[in-house]
Amino acid sequence: MSIKITSDSTSDLSPALLEQYDITVLPLYVTMGEQTCRDGVDARPEDLFAYVERTGSLPTAAVNVADYHDCFAQFSPRHEAVIHITISSDFSSCYQNACVAAEGFSNVYVVDSRNLSTGHGLVVLEAALAAPRGEQPEA
C-alpha cells in the first residue's frame, strides 16, 4: 500500500529525516509585527525566538483549510492513503482545519498527535516507519 505521510511544521523533524522518509511538511504561519511568514520557510526558529523574547508574544497561526486542501489534492490521487499528523488540538486549530479539508477526500486520514514539537515529531516518525510495513491507515 502506498501511504504518504504529511505533518505540520511543529513536528520539528530535521531536514535529513524529512528527506529520508519522504515526509511533506505544511508550515504554520508566523506573524511578526506587520510581516506574515511561513514557519521554516520564510521564518527561521531563531527569528521566532528573538521575536518572542523581544515582544513576549507567540506569533503563530494554524495552517489554513486551503493549504491543507491543496496538499491533500496533490497527494491523494498519487497514493492509496495520505496520513496527516497535526500538532495537538489543545494548542492549535490545525487539527480542525485539516479535518475540514480532508472531508473531500476518501483516502485522507487526519491524526491529532496530542503533542507538540519533539513529541509530535516522534508520532510523525513512527507513522513514516509503519507506512512501508503496509499497516492500514485506519489502525
pTM value is 0.88
Q: pLDDT confidence of 56, banded at 50, 70, 90?
A: confident
What percent of the chain has a predicted confidence (pLDDT) above 70?
98
Helix (H) or strand (E) holding 113: none
Q: What is the dihedral of CA 61, 78, 126, 42, to 10 degrees?
A: -30
Q: How confident is the model at residue 35 (pLDDT cuts 50, 70, 90)?
A: confident
pLDDT band at 9 (very low <50, low <70, confident <90, very high): very high
Q: Please provide the DSSP assignment of 46-106 as one string.
A: HHHHHHHHHHS---EEPPPHHHHHHHHHHHGGGSSEEEEEES-TTT-SHHHHHHHHHTT-T
59 has pLDDT over 80: no
pLDDT band of residue 119 (cuts 50, 70, 90) is confident
pLDDT band, residue 133 (cuts 50/70/90): confident
Q: What separation in angstroms does the CA of 91 have from each of 35, 41, 102, 133?
A: 22, 21, 20, 31
Q: How many residues does the chain have?
A: 139
